[in-house]
């Protein structure tokens, strides 16, 4: 393998202080058992100082959203200095729930990504199509439009500083699962776009209802460099199983 396989836990809006500490501690126990797999945690903003109390270099953590300004009158937002002050090393940007529920535009997401990277925070930039877009055969054009938002950044930052997560919206929490062919096609297209932008090794993660039952198939696809995990990251046994199964699949 030329680069690690990333398992990024997205805790969304879950857990109180004691629960967050306990789950993070459980992750630390098995992280780095295999050098091929890296574990990151995207935690609620209020949990960043909590994780700082128990942090381990084995499991970097970060935010689920971040503003592009250093400070200012932006009620409800957090800045890169705030994330870094709490020991955070990265942030998600453009998650489908931010795009759909909070109507975040490509222009805003581009500003978030550029601002964070410029200020030294790593970014996991999320892209993906809705069910209507897939059924209308617009998947590739949607990915192209979303990728264009950050295309100028792709060639300027090293792998691990900027990552892409492909999350088909129609396969998140719906019970509908993307086939390996559908995943492979989208990832190949994103890798091609990354190569055209000057970074053929840009990590592209998959984020559509990843579970212990499907991680082995996903992990062995050529253009999949990791997984952005929602529900299966909320339980230590489930996430440990993801870790072990992906490591086993990669080492075959």
82-141 pLDDT tens trace? 999 999 999 999 999 999 999 999 999 999 999 999 999 999 999 999 999 999 999 999
Tell me the backbone φ, ψ of residue 127, rounded to 5 degrees.
-135, 160
Domain ranges of the chain: 5-250
Per-residue confidence band for 172, with pLDDT thresholds at 50, 70 and 90: confident
Torsion sign (Cα): 73, 79, 83, 85: negative
What mean pLDDT comes out for the span 53-65?
97
Predicted confidence (pLDDT) at residue 250 exceeds the cutoff of 80: yes
> Cβ(201)–Cβ(3) under 8 Å?
yes
Say if domain 5-250 classifies as CATH 3.40.50.1860.
no
pLDDT of residue 176: 78
Which residue among the candidates 95, 114, 129, 187 is catalytic per the annotation?
A: 95
Catalytic site includes residue 167? yes
What mean pLDDT comes out for the span 36-60?
97
pLDDT of residue 175: 67
Give tens-digit pLDDT for 66-86.
Answer: 999 999 999 999 999 999 999
- Spatial distance between the Cα atoms of 184 and 201, rounded to a whole number of angstroms: 16
pTM of the model: 0.96
Least confident of 33-37, 38-42, 214-218, 233-237: 33-37
Per-residue confidence band for 159, with pLDDT thresholds at 50, 70 and 90: confident
Predicted confidence (pLDDT) at residue 230 exceeds the cutoff of 60: yes
pLDDT of residue 2: 61
pLDDT of residue 167: 97
Catalytic site includes residue 67? no
Which residue among the candidates 97, 114, 129, 167 is catalytic per the annotation?
A: 167
pLDDT of residue 1: 45
Per-residue confidence band for 191, with pLDDT thresholds at 50, 70 and 90: very high
Q: Which pair of structure tokens corresponds to residue 59?
A: 């499991």
Considering the chain, what is the average pLDDT of its residues? 96
> Cβ(190)–Cβ(232) under 8 Å?
no
Predicted confidence (pLDDT) at residue 25 exceeds the cutoff of 50: yes
Helix or strand run (H / E) with residue 41: strand 37-42
């Amino acid at each position: 393998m030329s680069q690690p396989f990333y398992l990024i836990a997205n805790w969304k809006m879950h857990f109180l202080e004691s629960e967050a500490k306990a789950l993070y501690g459980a992750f630390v126990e098995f992280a780095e058992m295999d050098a091929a797999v890296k574990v990151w945690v995207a935690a609620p903003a209020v949990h960043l100082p909590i994780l700082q109390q128990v942090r381990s270099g084995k499991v970097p953590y970060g935010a689920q959203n971040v503003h592009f300004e250093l400070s200012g009158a932006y009620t409800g937002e957090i800045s890169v200095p705030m994330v870094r002050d709490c020991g955070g090393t990265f942030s998600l940007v453009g998650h489908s729930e931010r795009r759909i529920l909070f109507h975040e535009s490509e222009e805003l997401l581009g500003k978030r990504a550029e601002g964070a990277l410029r200020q030294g925070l790593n970014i996991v930039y999320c892209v993906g199509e809705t069910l209507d877009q897939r059924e209308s055969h617009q998947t590739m054009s949607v990915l192209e439009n979303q990728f264009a938002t950050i295309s100028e950044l792709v060639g300027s930052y090293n792998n691990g500083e900027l990552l892409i997560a492909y999350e088909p919206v129609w396969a998140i929490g719906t019970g509908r699962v993307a086939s390996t062919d559908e995943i492979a096609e989208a990832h190949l297209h994103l890798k091609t776009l990354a190569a055209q932008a000057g970074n053929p090794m840009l990590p592209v993660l998959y984020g559509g209802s990843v579970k212990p039952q499907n991680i082995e198939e996903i992990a062995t696809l050529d253009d999949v460099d990791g997984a952005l995990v929602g529900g299966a990251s909320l339980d230590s046994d489930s996430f440990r199983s993801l870790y072990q199964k992906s490591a086993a699949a990669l080492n075959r």
